[in-house]
Amino acid sequence: MNETPSDLKFLDTHEWIKIDDDAVIVGISDHAQSELGDVVFVELPAIGDEFVSGDEAAVVESVKAASEVYTPLSGEVIEVNEVLEENPELVNTSPYEDGWFFKLKVTDENLGSADNMMTADEYLSWLDGNN
């Protein structure tokens, strides 16, 4: 079980975001990696790709199944975690640190929609309510 950092915001599709100035880092939650099981492949977006929130931006595959990673905000990809191509298991072992997926540059206007996302505590109690 990985500790849930309190500075992250969460979506009901189990992605997390971390705000870093005018950019956001995107990953998947500890709950999501645990549900997927051993991650063996990650398909990342390309730098320069532009997404609208809700777009499918990456694919994460465990031994058992493939799942989409949706971008929580609109913006342009400015960095991807290339380490995942060789070490996809980081998504399991370090979902909130080394297992991040990509970084998006977002406008202030778009960043505002992060206010509607769940805090770590809200996400955890929402998960409890669903189980």
The residues binding another protein (CB under 8 A) are 37-38, 40-41, 43, 59, 61, 63-66, 85
- Of 58 and 73, the one with the shorter C-beta distance to another protein is 58
Task: Report CA-CA distances (Å) from 129 to 19, 20, 62, 124, 125.
Answer: 27, 30, 26, 9, 6
Q: Give me the least distance between CB of 34 and another protein, in Å please.
A: 8
Q: Give me the least distance between CB of 84 and another protein, in Å please.
A: 11
Which residue type, as a one-letter code, is found at position 29? S
Instruction: Return the ∠ at Cα 125 (arms to 124 and 130), rounded to 5°.
Output: 100
CA–CA separation, 9 and 25 (whole Å) = 11
- Of 64 and 113, the one with the shorter C-beta distance to another protein is 64
Contact at 8 Å (CB) between 9 and 118? yes
Q: Give me the least distance between CB of 66 and another protein, in Å please.
A: 6
- Of 40 and 114, the one with the shorter C-beta distance to another protein is 40
Q: Give me the least distance between CB of 119 and another protein, in Å please.
A: 27
